[in-house]
Amino acid sequence: MLDRIRTIICEFVDMDPKDITLETNIRKDLGLNSLELVNLAVDIEEEFDVEIPDKEAMGLETVADAIKVIEKYMD
């Protein structure tokens, strides 16, 4: 799952996927603002076939948080 998220994130930021870890902070380390965070959530939703409420999408801090949220909403 981490590799799939890395691929999605690298569509938004120009970085080496290997530099994206579970501890990577989506806002601070990746520099994503609110709109980009929602855009990331949209792409994650499409990739994993889940629906993430906006409150949780915009509350994501780390990549690990994103994985937890995906797992929470997966069937």
Partner 1 sequence: MLCIAADMLARKVIAEETKTPENELSFYKAQGGKLYLDSGDCYFNFSHSEDTVALALNRHREVGIDVEKIRKISLNLIKRVCNKDEIEFISNGNGLNSDFAEGEAAERFFRIWTYKEAVLKCSGEGIISELYNISYDKDRCFCEITDGYCFTCVTAE
Contact predicate 69/52, CB 8 Å: yes
- 34 is a contact residue toward partner 1 (CB under 8 A): yes
DSSP characters over the chain: -HHHHHHHHTTTS-S-GGG--TT-BTTTTT---HHHHHHHHHHHHHHHT----HHHHHT--BHHHHHHHHHHH--
Stretch that binds partner 1, among 1-9, 13-21, 29-37, 67-75 (CB under 8 A): 29-37
Min CB(38)–partner 1 separation in Å: 6
Min CB(17)–partner 1 separation in Å: 21
- 49 is a contact residue toward partner 1 (CB under 8 A): no
The residues of the shown chain that bind partner 1, judged by CB under 8 A, are: 33-35, 38-39, 41-42, 46, 53-55, 58-59
